[in-house]
Amino acid sequence: MNGKLVPLEVALLLKVDHVSSVISLLDYYDRTDSFVLVLERPDHSVDLFDYITERGPLSESTARDFLRQVVDMALNVHDCGVVHRDLKDENLLVELNTSRLRLIDFGSAAFYKDEVYTEFEGENRHLVISHAQMFYFTFSVLWHFITALKT
């Protein structure tokens, strides 16, 4: 970036900066042993895992709305040439006043490429190996919704 090397996560967050469903990178600092990212923190928000844990099963309409938002955000991020590769309930913030979802944690993300991904990212149970399988993450989020509806 401007002739300076930055962590991949910073470069990817800058690439999706205009996507409103992604948490904004406000600043970052280069330390001798690490980088510090300063990210937006929406007021009155909680991650989707805690939201479901605290409130119990989601209504069908809420689950449908959340899933629609997840699919839309995944497509918007993909349109920017980025694949998140770790979509899950812990990486989705729910803004409690509006029920709007926001995507966080691009530590496992990558630039989109139309070929097989050979390097591993994310948790052991998640691995994106092709363009068609990028939706695996969306369906794993759907599984959390379905499970929450059944309990």
Beta bridge partners, 22, equal: 103
Q: Residue 43 has what pLDDT?
A: 92
Give the tens place of pLDDT for each residue, 74-94.
999 999 999 999 999 999 999
Q: Residue 123 has what pLDDT?
A: 46
More confident: 114 or 102 = 102
Confidence of residue 135 (pLDDT cuts 50, 70, 90): very low
63 CA to centre of own chain: 17
Supply the DSSP symbol for 110. E
Query: Looking at residues 8-18, what average pLDDT do you find?
Result: 94
Query: Looking at residues 124-143, what average pLDDT do you find?
Result: 45
What backbone torsions phi and psi does residue 148 show, to the nearest 5 degrees?
-65, -35
Percentage with pLDDT > 70 across the chain: 75
In CATH, the number for domain 42-150 is 1.10.510.10
pTM over 0.95: no
Q: Helices (DSSP H) in the chain: which residue ranges? A: 8-15, 48-55, 60-79, 136-150
Closest CA to 110 of 16, 22, 4, 3: 16
Q: Residue 33 has what pLDDT?
A: 86
Give the tens place of pLDDT for each residue, 21-37.
999 999 999 888 888 99
Give the tens place of pLDDT for each residue, 117-130.
776 554 444 333 34
Percentage with pLDDT > 90 across the chain: 61
Q: Residue 66 has what pLDDT?
A: 95
| Annotation marks residue 33 as catalytic | no
Question: 85 and 108 in contact (C-beta within 8 Å)?
Answer: yes
- Which of these is catalytic: 33, 43, 72, 86? 86
> What does the alpha-carbon distance between residue 131 and residue 113 come to, in Å, rounded to a whole number?
8
